[in-house]
Amino acid sequence: MIEDIYVYGFRSYRATVTVDDGGDITQYAAIDENDLHLQYSGHIRELTANELIVNDERQVKATHCHYCKVQDIVSGDRIKDPDDREFDVATVKNPHQLDKFLKIQLDYRAESVE
């Protein structure tokens, strides 16, 4: 099972948002270390050339695929891997809605959270 290759040390950060009276998001705050949302185990890999082509056609900006147990991770979150590389969450999928694991497409960030 995929859980057999999970390693501990992934961290998820969530930006604080400001919502107006109509329920629309009006501002995202910058994400920093104080916005730590989760610490967990997972697996990450680079996308294949074919996956990059498909993403380009779908206009999804992603460089890596991340697997973890089903938990509260959403598009817009930021992930740090155990090597402190930083990624923006592009898409989150629960394959076949079986609640076995999440398949998350990530976009690598050159700059990092301070």
CATH code of the domain in which 54 resides: 2.40.10.270
Considering the domain boundaries, does residue 114 fall inside one?
no
User: How far is 24 from 17, CA to CA, in rounded Å?
Assistant: 10
Do the domain assignments include residue 37?
Answer: yes
Does some domain include residue 21? yes
- Please report whether residue 40 resides in a domain: yes
Q: By residue range, what is the domain housing residue 73?
A: 2-109
Give the count of beta carbons closer than 10 Å to the beta carbon of residue 106. 25
DSSP collapsed to 3 states, the chain: CHHHHCEEEEEEECCCEEECCCCCEEEECCCCHHHEEEEEEEEEEECCHHHHHHHHHHCCCCCEEEEECCCCCCCCCEEECCCCCEEEEEEEECHHHCCCCEEEEEEEECCCCC
Domain count, the chain: 1
Predicted confidence (pLDDT) per residue in 31-49, tens digit: 777 789 999 999 999 999 9
Q: What is the pTM of this model?
A: 0.82
Reported as a single tens digit per residue, the pLDDT across 4-37 is: 999 999 999 987 776 778 777 655 566 777 789 9
